[in-house]
Structure 1
Amino acid sequence: MNTAVIPTEQAPQKVKSYGRLDRQIILILDFGSQYSELIARRIRETQVYSEVLSYRTTAEQLRELDPKGIILSGGPSSVYDNYAPHCDPEIWNLGIPILGVCYGMQLMVNQLGGEVLKADRGEYGKSSLYIDDPTDLLTNVEDGTTMWMSHGDSVTKMPPGFELLAHTENTPCAAIADHTKKLYGVQFHPEVVHSLGGLALIRNFVYHICECEPTWTTAAFVEEAIREIRAKVGEKRVLLALSGGVDSSTLAFLMYKAIGEQLTCVFIDQGFMRKLEPERLLKLFKEQFHIPVEYVNARDRFLNALEGVTDPEEKRRRIGHEFIREFEETSRRLGHFDYLAQGTLYPDVIESADTNVDPQTGERVAVKIKSHHNVGGLPKDLRFKLVEPLRKLFKDEVRKVGRSIGLPEEIVQRHPFPGPGLAIRILGEVTAERLNILRDADLIVRQEINQRGLYHDYWQTFAVLLPIKSVGVMGDQRTYAYPIVLRIVTSEDGMTADWARVPYDVLEAISNRIVNEVKGVNRVVYDITSKPPGTIEWE
Structure 2
Amino acid sequence: MIVILDFGSQYSELIARRIRETQVYSEVLSYRTTIEQLKKLNPAGIILSGGPSSVYDAGAPQCDPGIWQLGIPVMGVCYGMQLMVQQLGGGVERAERGEYGKASIAIDDPTDLLTNVDPGSTMWMSHGDSVTDMPDGFELLAHTDNTPCAAIANHTQKFYGVQFHPEVVHSIGGQAMIRNFVYHICECQPTWTTEAFVDEAVREVRARVGDKRVLLALSGGVDSSTLAFLLHRAIGSQLTCMFIDQGFMRKGEPERLMKLFKDQFHISVEYVMARERFIGAIAGVDDPEQKRKIIGHEFIRVFEEESKRLGPFDYLAQGTLYPDVIESADTNVDPKTGERVAVKIKSHHNVGGLPKDLQFKLIEPLRKLFKDEVRNVGRSIDLPEEIVNRQPFPGPGLAIRILGPVDDEKLNILRDADLIVRQEINKAGLYNDIWQAFAVLLPVRSVGVMGDQRTYAYPIVLRIVSSEDGMTADWARIPYDLMEIISNRIVNEVDGVNRVVYDITSKPPGTIEWE
> Shared fold (TM-score greater than 0.5)?
yes
SS in 2 for 1:403: helix
1:271-420 pair list within 5 angstroms: 271-358=247-334, 361-420=337-396
User: Do residues 46 (structure 1) and 22 (structure 2) align?
Assistant: yes
1:44 maps to a residue whose letter is R
Question: Which residue of 246, 255, 276 maps to 1:270?
Answer: 246
Q: Measure, in 1, the Cα distance between the counterparts of 2:67 and 2:32.
A: 11
Q: Measure, in 2, the Cα distance between the counterparts of 1:435 and 1:29.
A: 43
Question: Which residue of 498, 514, 534 maps to 2:490?
Answer: 514
List gaps (5 residues or longer) in structure 2.
Answer: none
Q: 1:434 is matched with which residue?
A: 410
Q: Measure, in 2, the Cα distance between the counterparts of 1:73 and 1:81.
A: 17
1:165, CA displacement in angstroms?
A: 1.0
Question: What RMSD in Å do the two structures reach over aligned CA positions?
Answer: 0.8
Deviations 1:266-311 (A, max 9, x none): 0000000000000000000011111111000000110110111010
2:137 maps to a residue whose letter is G
Q: Measure, in 2, the Cα distance between the counterparts of 1:423 and 1:538.
A: 11
Q: Measure, in 2, the Cα distance between the counterparts of 1:261 and 1:448.
A: 40
Q: 2:220 is matched with which residue?
A: 244
1:156 maps to a residue whose letter is T
1:497, CA displacement in angstroms?
A: 0.3
Question: Which residue of 19, 23, 35 maps to 2:11?
Answer: 35
1:78 maps to a residue whose letter is S
Question: Which residue of 465, 468, 484 maps to 2:460?
Answer: 484
Deviations 1:148-181 (A, max 9, x none): 1111111110001111111111111111111111
Q: 1:93 is matched with which residue?
A: 69
Name the stretch that deviates more: 347-356 or 450-459. Answer: 450-459
1:60, CA displacement in angstroms?
A: 1.5
1:419 maps to a residue whose letter is G
1:357, CA displacement in angstroms?
A: 2.8
User: Do residues 425 (structure 1) and 395 (structure 2) align?
Assistant: no
Deviations 1:23-78 (A, max 9, x none): xx100000011110100000001110101000000112111110000000001111
1:79-90 pair list within 5 angstroms: 79-90=55-66
Q: Measure, in 2, the Cα distance between the counterparts of 1:344 and 1:475.
A: 48
SS in 2 for 1:164: strand
Deviations 1:380-418 (A, max 9, x none): 100100010000000000000000100000000000000
Deviations 1:214-269 (A, max 9, x none): 01101100000000000110100000000000000000000000000000000000
1:361, CA displacement in angstroms?
A: 3.1
2:376 maps to a residue whose letter is K
1:335, CA displacement in angstroms?
A: 2.0
Q: Measure, in 1, the Cα distance between the counterparts of 2:465 and 2:6.
A: 28
Normalised by the size of structure 1, how large is the TM-score? 0.95
User: Do residues 255 (structure 1) and 231 (structure 2) align?
Assistant: yes
Question: Which residue of 80, 86, 104 maps to 1:128?
Answer: 104
Name the stretch that deviates more: 269-278 or 355-364. Answer: 355-364
Name the stretch that deviates more: 448-457 or 364-373. Answer: 448-457
List gaps (5 residues or longer) in structure 1.
Answer: 1-24
SS in 2 for 1:153: strand
1:465-504 pair list within 5 angstroms: 465-504=441-480
Q: 1:22 is matched with which residue?
A: none
User: Do residues 505 (structure 1) and 462 (structure 2) align?
Assistant: no
Question: Which residue of 143, 146, 150 maps to 1:170?
Answer: 146
Q: 1:449 is matched with which residue?
A: 425
1:503, CA displacement in angstroms?
A: 0.4
1:359, CA displacement in angstroms?
A: 6.8
Q: Measure, in 2, the Cα distance between the counterparts of 1:150 and 1:468.
A: 37
Q: Measure, in 1, the Cα distance between the counterparts of 2:231 and 2:20.
A: 24
Deviations 1:511-532 (A, max 9, x none): 0011111000010000000000
User: Do residues 104 (structure 1) and 44 (structure 2) align?
Assistant: no
Deviations 1:127-153 (A, max 9, x none): 111111111111111111111111111
1:498 maps to a residue whose letter is D
Question: Which residue of 56, 66, 81 maps to 2:42?
Answer: 66
Q: Measure, in 2, the Cα distance between the counterparts of 1:445 and 1:166.
A: 47
Q: Measure, in 1, the Cα distance between the counterparts of 2:430 and 2:168.
A: 26
Q: 1:214 is matched with which residue?
A: 190
Q: Measure, in 2, the Cα distance between the counterparts of 1:86 and 1:534.
A: 30
SS in 2 for 1:92: helix
User: Do residues 182 (structure 1) and 166 (structure 2) align?
Assistant: no
1:507, CA displacement in angstroms?
A: 0.5
1:259 maps to a residue whose letter is I
Q: 1:8 is matched with which residue?
A: none
Name the stretch that deviates more: 357-366 or 152-161. Answer: 357-366
Deviations 1:333-375 (A, max 9, x none): 0120000000000000000001123476341111111000000
Deviations 1:99-154 (A, max 9, x none): 00010000000010000011111111111111111111111111111111111111
SS in 2 for 1:422: helix
Q: Measure, in 2, the Cα distance between the counterparts of 1:137 and 1:500.
A: 34
Q: Measure, in 2, the Cα distance between the counterparts of 1:140 and 1:469.
A: 56
Deviations 1:161-203 (A, max 9, x none): 1111111111111111111111111111100111101011110
1:96, CA displacement in angstroms?
A: 1.1
